[in-house]
Every structure is written in structure tokens, then in C-alpha cells.
Amino acid sequence: MREISRRGLLGAGIAGIGAAAATGITGCGSTGTTGSRGSAPSGSTPSGGTVGAGTPRPSGGGKGGGGSGKPAPGARPTGADVRLIGDGSTADTGKQPHQPPAPVPLEPGETPPQFVVFSWDGAGEVGNGLFPRFLELAKDHGAAMTFFLSGVYLLPESKKTLYRPPNNPVGASDIGYLTDAHIKDTLRNVRQAWLDGHEIGTHFNGHFCGGSGSVGNWTPRQWRSEIDQAVSFVTQWRTNSGWTDLDPLPFDYRKELIGGRTPCLLGQDRLLPTARKLGWRYDASSPGGTQIWPDKTHGVWNLPLQGVPFPGRSFEVLSMDYNMLANQSGNSTRGRTSRYPGWRKQATGAYLGGFRRAYETNRAPFFIGNHFEQWNGGIYMDAVEEALKRMAGKKDVRLVSFRQFTDWLDVQDPAVLARLRTLEVGQSPAGGWNAFFKAA
């Protein structure tokens, strides 16, 4: 298993790991409260339950809606449905399968749904079987997820000089490059993910978190370069690899891409002007948030990872697997095996504690970040799977992608959303939802 250092997880702040007991570690190699910066480097969610308020019940399955939502086995567009784009790396295959009905505004006094978004940074399949494992889990529970694909995961290492990262040497990448076999596996899984109804976002490329080349120092123009390159690696993988034996990705990535998450949750302030110019609708890069209803920043929905209760500790932890690890085994991905069962229980409890706090009070959307990694024996993968299973099927719960949640936000009355934002973390609406909205 790869060590954290291979993925650039250890930023300068990790030296302060000992402070975790007092403040909590909130991300990819950084320390501080849940408001400090941090995520992890690169690496799907169920709806299954009762259809929540504001959306008509679908007649059949569908991601983020009601019913089983299970994609048909081996679903793929037919030749007549496919319009190749560019060199044939991607294709327009029409409307994405397994989507929920078009969202509608909340009715007066209606209880808001409980949205949960499971997302995956990097989204590379590196031979550990985690990508297909969570595609299957999502399928079993009628869930939609967001996969933030790292563009360099589709670029063969032999062509790494095509990557010109801002403020870094040509071809540099703090997450390295995948083998050709793993690139092919990633392509197959990304393709299946979209056909299953999941969203494909971006985690950009080289994952630079420290030093002068850190993404935190990039200008809006440099972010534009990074995005353009990430898009090119996805839309020109056939040219870059020379492979002709794989099907195209079944979507127009330039239209599909409406949001992302930056490496280590750095650089959002100078990314957002570029994101807005590109027409992005949301960004998930805020350096730590709380469980309240979101608002826009610079015209883009700001959808951050959130601080959640950390069982047995006096501080909160960011809702991401790496942050659980950093507060359990420090800078090691292979901690004491005797502690794995307790750590797994603690991580599961953190996810479920955050979920319950929102579900039982202000119904703020809950955002969870993950990586396809077997850190500490895979306990975080087991924890997020257990949490998903226990959230699925509950009344009003919708396990959706960021795109689907943004679709819902965009059709709501701004006054209703503003009213929802008055509820603090863990604050229930006084007198119930009907009275709460009547008082608006």
C-alpha cells in the first residue's frame, strides 16, 4: 500500500500532528479546527428511501429518487445513440441514465429532504477493487455519488511531459501516474459510473499541497491552465495513449464538468473567479465548513466538507476519511493493527453522528469525502460503507451527487433557502417545519 507521502498528504502542517488532541486535524496534512484548511489527495450514495419533499415520486428507479434505482446490468448506449467527440475519447450518448425526476420547489411548510453526498477524490482504480466495490454498493441502494477524477490518472507516464503544472516542473505530480493497466481500469470504471447515474467532477491534476508550487498560491489564470489540462487528459486519452480497444467515455466532459474539489482544500479563493467564468455551478473546496444550509460564493454554490462529532474526543473532525486517519494514526497509513476495530467504530460513529445531527434537526445537507485507499487495513472504506447502508432507506433521505443536489438548490425559492440558513448547527425549527416557514 502506498504511504501518505506518495500522495502529497503531508503538508508542512503535519508536523503539528500532536496538536490533534486539542484542535483536531482537518485535512490533507494540515492541522487546526474544523475551519482550517485540509482534505486529502486523490483517490458513490443511496437514495433508496422515501422520496423527500419537493420532488415528485418517480415511476421507476433512479438515482437520488425513489424505487430501487438499480441500473440495468451491462447498460450501454447503442451505436445509433453515440456521437463521437474529438478523437473519440468521449462521446455524446444523450441524456444520462438513472437520473431522478426534475426537482420542484418545496411546498409551503414542507419538510426539507435530508440530502447526503458521498464523493471520491481522485477516482482512480489502482487494482484494489474499491471503485467497482462502491459502484456495486451504490447500485444496491439506489444511490448516486460524485467522482472527482484526477486528470493525470488518464495520462500515461510515458506522456507526462504533456502536463505543465503551474509553478512546478514539467511532468511533475505529487500523486504520480498510474500504470497503463490501471488507467484502463479507471476508464472502465469512470465509464460505468456515468452510465450508472453518477457525476464525474474534477480533482484537477498534480495535487500540489506544499512549497512554492502549492495550488494555494495559484492565480485564477493558473487555475484555468490546470483545468484546461485536466479536461484535455480526459478528452484526449485515446490520442495520448494510442489505445483503440476501449469504448469512449459516454459523456461530453466539457458539459459534464460543473464542479470540483481542490487538492488539500487549498486555493478556492482564486479558483472561484475562474470557475464562475467557466459556468461551474458549485465548488466543494472550502477549507472546512459546518452543518448548515449552503450559500453561494462569487456566484457559485459553496458545498464544503463539514465538521462532525468525533466519538470519544472533545473536538470535531472534518467529514473525510483522511481526517479520521490523521486523528487516529497520525502520519502513518499503517497504524497499530490492534486499534483497527476501535478506529473503524469511531469513524463510522463520526459519519453517523454527523448524519443524525442534521437529519434530526436542521436537515442541512451532509457532505462526505473519501479516497479509494486501504489506509489502516481498509477500515475507512468499511466505515463509509456501513454508514451509507444505515442512512439508506430512511424517510426523506436522498443520497445524491453534487450535481443532483445543485439542481435541487437552483429551483428553490431564494427566500426559503435564506430561511433555512438561519438554522444553526443542530438547531431544530421552532414549532416544527410548518410553523418555521410560516414565520418567514
C-alpha cell at 160: 507526462
Summarize pLDDT for 173-187 with one digit per residue, the tens: 999 999 999 999 999
DSSP 8-class letter at 318 = E
Section 321-340 average pLDDT: 97
Between these two residues, 158 and 59, which has the higher pLDDT value? 158
Does residue 395 surpass a pLDDT of 80? Answer: yes
- Report pLDDT for 81: 80
C-alpha cell at 274: 475562474
Return the domain boundaries, the chain. Answer: 4-67+95-438
Residue 71 pLDDT grade (very low, low, confident, very high; cuts 50, 70, 90) = low
Rounded distance between C-alpha atoms, residue 294 and residue 147, angstroms: 21
Summarize pLDDT for 3-52 with one digit per residue, the tens: 443 333 322 222 222 333 333 433 453 323 333 323 333 333 223 332 23
Residue 439 pLDDT grade (very low, low, confident, very high; cuts 50, 70, 90) = confident
> By 3-state DSSP, what share of the chain in percent is helix, strand and coil, each rounded to 5?
40, 15, 50
Among residues of the chain, what percentage have pLDDT more than 70? 82
Assigned superfamily of 4-67+95-438: Glycoside hydrolase/deacetylase (3.20.20.370)
Rounded distance between C-alpha atoms, residue 22 and residue 214, angstroms: 27
Measured in whole angstroms, how far is the alpha carbon of residue 58 from the centre of its chain?
25
Measured in whole angstroms, how far is the alpha carbon of residue 360 from the centre of its chain?
23
pTM given for the model: 0.87
Summarize pLDDT for 182-216 with one digit per residue, the tens: 999 999 999 999 999 999 999 999 999 999 999 99
- Report pLDDT for 288: 83
- Spatial contact of 404 and 99, defined as CB atoms under 8 Å apart: yes
Summarize pLDDT for 42-63 with one digit per residue, the tens: 333 223 332 233 333 233 333 4
